[in-house]
Amino acid sequence: MTATVVIIFTIVYLGMILGGLPFLQLDRTGVALLGAIALVASGDVSFAEAGRSVHAPTLILLFAFMVLSAQLRLSGFYTYVTRRLAALPLAPPRLLGALILVVGALSAVFSNDIICLAMAPVLMDACVRRRLDPVPYLLALACAANVGSALTLIGNPQNMLIGESLRLSFGGYLREAAVPVLLGLAVTWALIVIQVGGRWDCPAALLTPEAGLERRVEEADFDRWQTTKGLTVAAVLVAVFLAAPWPRELAALAGAGLLLLSRQLHSRRMLGLVDWELLVLFVGLFVVNRAFQQTGLPAEAVRALGGAGLDLTRPGTLFVTAFVLGNIVSNVPAVMLLLPLATHPMAGTLLALVSTLAGNLLIVGSIANIIVVDAAERRGLRIDWRRHARVGVPVTFATLAISGAYLWLRLAST
């Protein structure tokens, strides 16, 4: 039994590293699901055990906020915000700062991936119309979405997982994350402005009529009533998370249910925007990781490393491990592996900050980066890994340095 589980676990995490398996049309979600199926089919995990492996509160919270984000996408809210933002009569550096603040704030409540998916094409077209180089603004969008999403326990999937698994206080985490995230957004702005060096003009190739035709974006019409409904539900949920003792996942599910009761937005359209693949990825990884933990091998490895002087539960070691592992297997699988090591009172905050901020390092570090780069490429603008890394690498190390210093000061004061 142990040998089969270890083999399947190894194959699944190889798929997480590679983004799929060689010679097969499988992405990370397909690999995780296939691993869970193999464990159940082999008899190493029963159906009952597989069900118990899945952390339902995390999936419910994730699903509910996907419905909330779908409401705002269909109401045209994200497009409206992007267009109003791009039309502000600000100099390019100040416009960049406004973009980073707005994106950071939105990503703290709504999914960072959804923010990038909805805003990237509109932002690029708006930049070209203003004859501004879209690249600094698109990279700022991706970086700010990642950094801003670290502010709360609902900003991204890994934070939801950490918050629900460790039952972290929503307000308590918000207070801890506020300083490093706000400083991180400011540093992101400064690093991009310094790198641009005053060269904000749009490349001539993007100003041709042919390129303009290729860049047309299909946009949802702005619906003030539907937007108000979505924002009201979001505001009420945040207030409940901060002040009420109710389970976050149940409150969020009730909010999603209210939004589905609509006379204008068909539930098929809203549920069609739910990222079912991400939910399936979570289910598959829950089953695979639980089976691997039950072999006892992870606990033995941790004890052996501790005996050799490398205690993975110590904040400093966990910080480095989360950064490295997150950039190897992606942030959600990395967090699932490291959650059993989160025994220190500050471990949850540390994991949430590091796993999120590390995503800016390379294009493949987060889905938000990939979404922005793909949106640009579909409009004739290629942002390769070198161009992204010139911003992503310094932003990552600067924001992690800020977070590391803040956490060190907090630990030293306790």
**Phi and psi at residue 190, to the nearest 5°:** -65, -45
Residues of the chain with pLDDT under 70: 1, 207-220
| Interatomic CA distance for residues 136 and 410, integer angstroms | 34
Q: How far is CA 311 from the centre of its chain?
A: 28
| Interatomic CA distance for residues 138 and 116, integer angstroms | 9
Alpha helices in 156-296 (DSSP H): 157-166, 170-196, 209-214, 224-243, 248-260, 267-272, 276-294
Would you say 90 and 345 are in contact if contact means Cβ atoms under 8 Å apart?
no
Within 10 angstroms of residue 250's Cβ, the number of other Cβ atoms is: 14
Task: Return the pLDDT at 413.
Answer: 82
| Interatomic CA distance for residues 138 and 87, integer angstroms | 16
Question: Which tokens hold the place of 42?
Answer: 């082999």
| Interatomic CA distance for residues 52 and 18, integer angstroms | 28
Would you say 220 and 81 are in contact if contact means Cβ atoms under 8 Å apart?
no
Domain segments of the chain as ranges: 2-413
**Phi and psi at residue 319, to the nearest 5°:** -60, -50
Task: Sort residue 23 into left (φ over 0), alpha (ψ -120 to 50) or beta.
Answer: left
Q: Considering only CA atoms, which of 150, 149, 153 is closest in space to residue 166?
A: 153
Within 10 angstroms of residue 23's Cβ, the number of other Cβ atoms is: 6
Task: Return the pLDDT at 112.
Answer: 87
Count of alpha carbons within 13 angstroms of residue 110, beta-carbon side: 27
Q: What is the largest CA-CA distance in the chain?
A: 66
End-to-end CA gap in the chain: 44
| Interatomic CA distance for residues 251 and 178, integer angstroms | 24
Could you please report the per-residue DSSP string of 291-356?
A: HHHHTTHHHHHHHHHHHTT--TTSHHHHHHHHHHHHHHH-HHHHHHHHGGG--STTHHHHHHHHHH
Question: Which tokens hold the place of 357?
Answer: 């901020």
Q: Considering only CA atoms, which of 45, 34, 55 is closest in space to residue 5?
A: 45
Q: Considering only CA atoms, which of 145, 105, 192, 183 is closest in space to residue 405?
A: 183
